[in-house]
Amino acid sequence: MRLVRKRLRGKRTADEVLASLTVRARAQGVGTAAGLCGDWFGSQAVLAPEVRPAPAADPFFPFRGQPEPPGDGAVGGGWFGYLSYDLTDPSGRATGIPRAVWSWADHVLRLDTEGQWWFEALGPGADPAEFEALLAAPSPRLRWAPARLDRPLPHTEAIKACVHAIEAGELFQANICTRFTGRFAGDPAGLFAEGVRTLAPRRAAYLEGDWGAIVSLSPELFLARQGLSVRSTPIKGTLPRRGPADDHLRARLRESVKDVAENVMITDLVRNDLGRVCEVGSVRVPDLLTVRPAPGVWHLESTVEGQLRGTDEDLLRATFPPGSVTGAPKIRALDLIAELEPGPRGVYTGAVGLVSPVAGLELNVAIRTFEIAAGRIALGVGGGITADSDPQAEWAECLHKAAPLERLLAAG
């Protein structure tokens, strides 16, 4: 496979370029655009001008084959897509959109950390000059109608039932979620572009197709694999974020017995998951309990690393769905979630990202994620429940997490 690279002139932001690529793809009838923005593959953005869907019975087909040696920062292209949580829901429920979608891109535009745009392709074909012209042209404004989400009743009874299960020794922690829904009219790509511009999420991802669209404004990395090096950065522990003067909240989060316990348990679960497919002795935790900002909240974040001894498929089958949005032990948590949550999660708490034959793979945890289909929009919200959880406080945490996205949707 021959990698083609060309430096491009132009200083458009990632959200502006994705809007331009979306309009271009629709006008030329070349499928749809896709994009990753924030912190992906050591870059600020990886955008696909056009992706071609590849229906397949096996949702894990892009992960086959042996990992390649580490590259030099280029991405080139690959499979953009998602795995929904519904793939592993023991109840078999689903929201109606496909449980997995993967679409191929043989060329991308990549924005590096220095603000330089690159055209990259997995072979000859596309014309870099067209995209250099696009970077010089005004960016379109994609709009959507202001909308509000209908909230279900607080899921405090489900939280209480989860606490009782923990007290009975069935498990240590479970992530209990609910779903806000509403009507949506307009362009999902505009919603994503504005979310990237105003919220600056670290792991944002956009996909669309005949089935609908995914607007993921996630702060969380599920998996990154370059060469044989694997990394996961679970988030657990949350407090509302009010502004630059709330450093006392950062300290409070780091000192919270409940939040620290929540994070440490999930970090241990991720360590065990990676230990199933990594070289013996290679799994370590280089970063534990770091306080990081996310839209509307502070989070506790830890990092687990290891050296893979199998394929990407082995890695995904050992770790999916992400531990931070299921619980510990994971199998009992999956069963309890199916018992206590009234409906399917869909893509929410699954994973969205890119599998590249040149750069490896990176997937987010699909939290802070809108699922849009057939004129409807849904937003999953939830949190980790431990023995110390207070149901009203857990519901308030859901509202804090959802608030920035609700404001974004209402702005139109």
- Catalytic positions, please? 220, 236
| Residue 374 buriedness (CB in 10 A; 0-12 / 13-18 / 19+) | exposed
Joined together, the tokens standing for residue 156 give 């405090």
Looking from the CA of 225 toward its CB, the CA atoms found within 13 Å total 30
CA 349 vs CA 82, 142, 389: distances in Å: 11, 27, 21
Joined together, the tokens standing for residue 270 give 């991720």
Tokens 């931070």 locate to 324
Written in H, E and C, the secondary structure of the chain is CCCEEEEECCCCCHHHHHHHHHHHHHHHCCCEEEEEEEEECCEEEEEEEEEEECCCCCCCHHHCCCCCCCCCCCCCCEEEEEECHHHHCCCCCCCCCCCEEEEEECEEEEEECCCCEEEEECCCCCCHHHHHHHHHCCCCCCCECCCCCECCCCCHHHHHHHHHHHHCCCCCEEEEEEEEEEECCECHHHHHHHHHHHHCCCEEEEEEECCEEEEEEECCEEEEEECCEEEEECEEEEEECCCCCCHHHHHHHHHCHHHHHHHHHHHHHHHHHHHCCECCCCCEEEEEEEEEEECCEEEEEEEEEEEECCCHHHHHHHHCCCHHHCEECHHHHHHHHHHHCCCCCCCCCCEEEEEECCCEEEEEECCCEEEEECCEEEEEEEEEECCCCCHHHHHHHHHHHHHHHHHHHHHC
Mode of pairing for the β-strands spanning 297-307 and 229-233: antiparallel
- Cα(238)–Cα(260) distance, integer angstroms: 10
